[in-house]
A and B are shown apart, each in its own frame.
Chain A
Amino acid sequence: MPRYIGKEMSRVDGVAKVTGRAKYAAEFRAPNLAYGFIVLGAVAKGTIKSIDTGGAERAPGVVRVFTHLNAPRLGPKASHEQSPPRAQEEKDKSFRALQSDRIYFNMQPVALVVAETYEQARYAARLVKVSYNAERHSTDTEAVSERGRFPSQGPPPKPRGNPEAAMKAAPVKVEAEYRIPVEHHNPMEPHAAVAVWQGDRLTVFDKSQEVYNVRKHLASSFNVPEENVHVVSPYVGGAFGSSLRPNYYPALTAMAAREIKRPVKVVYTRTQMYTGHGYRPHTIQKIALGAEASGKLTAMIHEAVHNTSTFEEFSDNTTGFTRQVYACPNLYAPLKITDTDLNTPTWMRAPGAVSGMFALECAMDELAYALKIDPLELRLINYAETDPESGRPFSSKALRECYRLGAEKFGWKQRKMEPRSMRDGRLLVGWGTATGIWGAFQMPATARITFRADGTAHVASATSDIGPGTYTVVTMIAAEYLGLRPEQVKFELGDTDLPRAPAQGGSWTTASVGSAVHGAALAVAAKLLALANREASSPLKGAAAADVEMLDGRLRLKADASKSVSVADVMRRNHLAEITETFEARPSAERRKYATMAHGAQFVEVKVDPDLGTVRVARVIEVTACGKIINPKASHSQEIGGVVWGIGMALQEATEIDHRYGRIMNPNLQHYHVPVNADVHEVETLFVEEDDSVVNPLGVKGMGELGMVGIPAAIANAVFHATGRRVRELPITPDKLL
């Protein structure tokens, strides 16, 4: 029986966070620090005609003003200067600031003002005067959706079966278009970097989901060896994908610091965050579903197009999960991308999946009504027993259990099919459901454990904890397999001095880093066993590493706990104060024989004011099948977070662009609405655990994205059920329900 795994545990970083001691990027101190403030451009496309920095340079406290005219070149070459078609030899096409006079998007950085104080830098930034040669821009994805092309990565999508013929022959069909606007992550912590040079060595305190990637980016930016760059990011105040890529500010900050030979701090303003990193792309989707009268799907055609920038390709893989969620012999699910004069989009929580599944799961609801079959029943009818795309078995899949248990718990049986048929006083009540799906990914990751004779352990891996509770869950795993108490384990992350770990994204952290920590702990035990068995009197003679476990300072036989040795004694006799083991966990070959996915069923109750069009998400039940749950408390919080994000996406969030100027007009939190406390009501989670020895040694699948995937569709479906109004364009604001 595990002591910690599967039991709820409060966050080990909790005290640091509730007392204000947890340090985020902008909070690190460095001597002689100067403050940088970014100046944003005012046209969407063109070139900088002239830039007058005189006023800013003369302003009190200003140390220097950087523009494309005096900023050093960053990187082997300024990759964004290559206009399409792109040179294939350069992989990193990410935008780097102040590299030329070319304007690629509105609110692009055009200068950096560095001053002695923040107030001085912010003011002087207003004094930089820029004029432009504006060119005709195009920022409206709707207007260029016809110009979509297949992403160059990967082969062009192939149809399964004969979707067109099957669609033609289908007795029941639905066809509709769905629209998702640009959305922004808006983590609460603005992106920030503090850069300090010591000769040719650079230390950057950054907000990052992948410190190694920032290191690589900085090393290439400044043409220094990667070993010279130290990136530190112990706490990340939310990111949701916005810190997966390095973004332009760390290099900009380090450039300024190098030039003025002083540490520099740059913090995005909330407004700067809207073009300082990517965003969820504007996505237009056309779905056609064909079915037999029984409800059996016979054809699925899911065509998506979303925008990217003119200088870099981004694909959200919007239609990927459509291929794997329902059994259907005929399918075509292509994704195209189209250029706009906006910054490059990026991954945003549940990327692709939540967009694609919003369209697909709404279409399934529409099909259910066309067929007069209960929407949940329709999903069960089309249940995929094996992966419809590859034909491979699932390593585990308890989705049917999720559907049934969720329905039971929610009281789905009481649902009347007819829209507008359920009420609570004057409010219309609607119940909706949708399927959640995400991959059970694993990436190569390395962890190091130093086990000390005093019964404490230091665990290290350069992963990140943007909020899911990685500090805690890794501590639990290490404690479990080293036989220690959690307080005897110290886990350190977010630092390029530590062993390499993948980005915290894709919900793969526990599977990847957890497996590495597990492996390192077993390696410690194996080392101890070998040491113990050098002694003639060892009671563990003949035991293999797999036969033993560590517990409370002893190494013992799993099968016979009375056969054990004191770990401290073994180490003392070998004159060892500590044992250090490093382990790299890689996805197993076995995984390739299976489809490895996490699933969930999501049930939503909305209450709609029929007069005012306001929607309240009164009740949500998340039923989740994602392998083994390590810390149900934090996992539940992930599910809640997914629901809150789903509420935002379904009802509130949209980045508004005035296409006349190609400019984002709500780059703030007063006009870009995210859910507040009063928007969130009951959220419950049921965990359906799966035994899965294929996905990884811990049997875990990720859940940070999963809990969000079906929510926008479930809400939209519930709104339809409540009101009879099918809103296919997000967000569903009150004006759309009048």
Chain B
Amino acid sequence: MRPFKYVRASDPAAAARAVAANPNAKFLAGGTNILDLMKEDVERPDELIDLTRLKLTEIKAAGGGVSIGALARNTDTANHPLIRRNYPLLTQAIVAGASAQLRNMATNGGNLMQRTRCQYFYDTAMPCNKREPGSGCGALGGLNRIHAIFGWSDKCVATYPGDMANALYALDAVVRVRGANGRERTIPAGEFHRLPGDTPERDTNLQHGELITAIELPKSDFAKNSYYLKVRDRASYAFALVAVAAALEMDGGRVRTARVVLGGVAHKPWRSSEAEAALVGKPASQQTFERAAELALKGARPLAHNAYKVELGERAVVRALMRAARLA
């Protein structure tokens, strides 16, 4: 870990200013990912702005929906009555991730900022365009069982590893951010993370110094029929091979609105509007869901070691929709 200056931020404006002023400065929230990466010399900030004393922790009803503080802990978010009752999909996604200890530490904003778990990204002796632009992608022709099947480029085949963001996308959340100049803007959850393209070093569309202040969830009619499914190599405390955030708004036995977002398959949460469209107006049934699943995985471009994700993805979509519809 390189030497760095530690600064305890007193308010959001000062925090944003401090990071904006130093290209090598980073925010520190829960620390669960950045400290790990700093120990590995993957992240190399020379200044850390500690946000954890800021009051951006409130979870409250707002405009028919709910506003979640960026610095609210994952555990508190998942267990908040407003979330459990109205957005159980989000609760399920959060508790599917990491461990109780990590969820107690991790903040919502930090969770969005977590970086890929690609092995080549973690190993500074290996090529990785995300870590070191221009060095090449180790995973493209290497071990890529856990890598992307959608949206990858020849520069990067890494996946976004988180769970929470998949649910946020399905729930039409927006991320509220504040720049160093004090200006606020909102970014739809689905546009927060990027595809790697030629600039895999950029995970998100945040500008340097922009601070996430809140995540806003609109009123949702998915509470009754949603499910977060995570398939992994062991029963708990592992990253997803494939995850699915499925949400249905039902009209009797028929689907009125649907959301299908896959995790573990791309550099960002991967939503399938084709699958969603194929569900609308159809009776909730295994058959309907199988058709939607097929569409959800259509166009997948598997790598040498992850072709299984296509079939697993289809099956996971079916299962998640069945659970959401309470048919399984």
Contact = CB atoms under 8 A, between A and B. Distances in A.
A and B touch in the complex (CB under 8 A): yes
A122 interface: yes
12 contacts: A42-B125, A122-B39, A126-B41, A612-B316, A652-B233, A658-B142, A666-B119, A671-B117, A673-B238, A676-B238, A679-B234, A734-B241
Residue among B117, B119, B241, B318 with the highest chain A CB neighbour number at 10 A: B119
Contacts of A735: 145, 241, 308-309, 312
Interface string A645-687: 0000001100010101101011010110101111100000000
B74 to A, nearest CB: 18
Q: Identify the 9 closest CB pairs spanning chains A and B, nearest first.
A: A735-B308, A678-B235, A42-B125, A678-B236, A665-B119, A611-B315, A658-B142, A679-B235, A676-B237
Nearest to A107: B125
Residue among B39, B117, B233, B241 with the highest chain A CB neighbour number at 10 A: B233
A134 to B, nearest CB: 12
B101 to A, nearest CB: 13
Nearest to B238: A673
B235 A123 contact: no
B64 interface: no
A123 B1 contact: yes
A660 B41 CA distance: 23
A734 B233 contact: yes
A612 B123 contact: no
A27 interface: no
Contacts of B145: 735
A414 to B, nearest CB: 26
B120 A734 contact: no
Interface in B282-328: 308-309, 311-312, 315-316, 318-319, 328
Interface string B223-242: 00000000101111111010
Contact of A670 (B117, B126, B315): B117
B280 interface: no
A613 B126 contact: no
Contacts of A40: 125
Interface of B: 1-3, 39, 41, 117, 119-120, 122-123, 125-126, 138, 141-143, 145-146, 231, 233-239, 241, 308-309, 311-312, 315-316, 318-319, 328
A735 B238 CA distance: 15
Contact of A665 (B39, B123, B311, B319): B123
Contact of A677 (B126, B233, B236, B312): B236
Given A658-B143, A670-B117, A611 B241 contact: no
B40 to A, nearest CB: 8
B235 A613 contact: no
A665 B142 contact: yes
Contacts of A612: 231, 312, 315-316, 319
Interface in A35-81: 40, 42, 60
Contact of A734 (B39, B231, B237, B239): B231
Given A42-B125, A119-B1, A656-B143, A675 B234 contact: yes
Given A611-B319, A612-B319, A665-B123, A673 B141 contact: no
Contacts of B316: 611-612
A413 interface: no
A614 interface: yes
Contact of A616 (B235, B238, B328): B235
A676 B234 contact: yes
A652 B117 CA distance: 18
Contacts of B119: 656, 665-666, 671
Interface residues of A, number: 35
A733 interface: yes
Given A611-B319, A673-B238, 7 more contacts: A652-B234, A661-B126, A665-B126, A671-B119, A676-B237, A678-B235, A738-B312
A734 B145 CA distance: 12
A91 interface: no
Interface of B is mostly: loop
A613 B312 contact: yes
Nearest to A40: B125
B221 to A, nearest CB: 28
A733 B231 CA distance: 11
Interface of A: 40, 42, 60, 119, 122-123, 126, 426, 611-614, 616, 651-652, 656, 658, 660-661, 663, 665-666, 668, 670-671, 673, 675-679, 733-735, 738
Given A670-B239, A738-B308, A123 B143 contact: no
A401 B228 CA distance: 47
Given A119-B1, A611-B318, A738-B312, A665 B120 contact: yes
A252 to B, nearest CB: 20
Contacts of B125: 40, 42, 663
Contacts of A673: 233-234, 238
Contacts of B239: 670
B117 A426 contact: no
A520 B2 CA distance: 56
Residue among B2, B125, B145 with the highest chain A CB neighbour number at 10 A: B125
Contacts of A665: 119-120, 123, 126, 142-143
B308 to A, nearest CB: 4
Nearest to B124: A126
Contacts of A666: 119
A706 to B, nearest CB: 25
Contacts of B241: 734-735
Residue among B237, B309, B311 with the highest chain A CB neighbour number at 10 A: B237
Contacts of B309: 735
A551 B237 CA distance: 52
B157 to A, nearest CB: 14
A73 B134 CA distance: 40
A426 B1 contact: no
A677 B100 CA distance: 13
Nearest to A665: B119
Contacts of B318: 611
A661 B239 CA distance: 25
A678 B315 CA distance: 23
Nearest to A731: B233
B159 to A, nearest CB: 13
Given A122-B39, A676-B236, A614 B126 contact: no
Contact of A122 (B1, B231, B238, B315): B1
Nearest to A671: B119
Contacts of B1: 119, 122-123
A335 to B, nearest CB: 28
Contacts of B234: 651-652, 673, 675-676, 678-679
A426 B328 contact: yes
Contacts of B39: 122
A612 B318 CA distance: 10
Nearest to A130: B125
Contacts of A616: 235
A42 B2 CA distance: 20
A413 B138 CA distance: 52
Contacts of B311: 738
Nearest to A668: B122
Nearest to A122: B1
A126 B233 CA distance: 32
A676 B235 contact: yes
Nearest to A660: B142
A652 B312 CA distance: 18
Nearest to B239: A670
B315 A738 contact: yes
Contacts of B126: 658, 661, 663, 665
B141 A733 contact: no
A666 B241 CA distance: 16
Contact of B233 (A658, A668, A733): A733
Nearest to B306: A735
B315 to A, nearest CB: 4
B299 to A, nearest CB: 19
Nearest to A677: B236
A614 B242 CA distance: 12
Contacts of A668: 122
Nearest to A736: B308
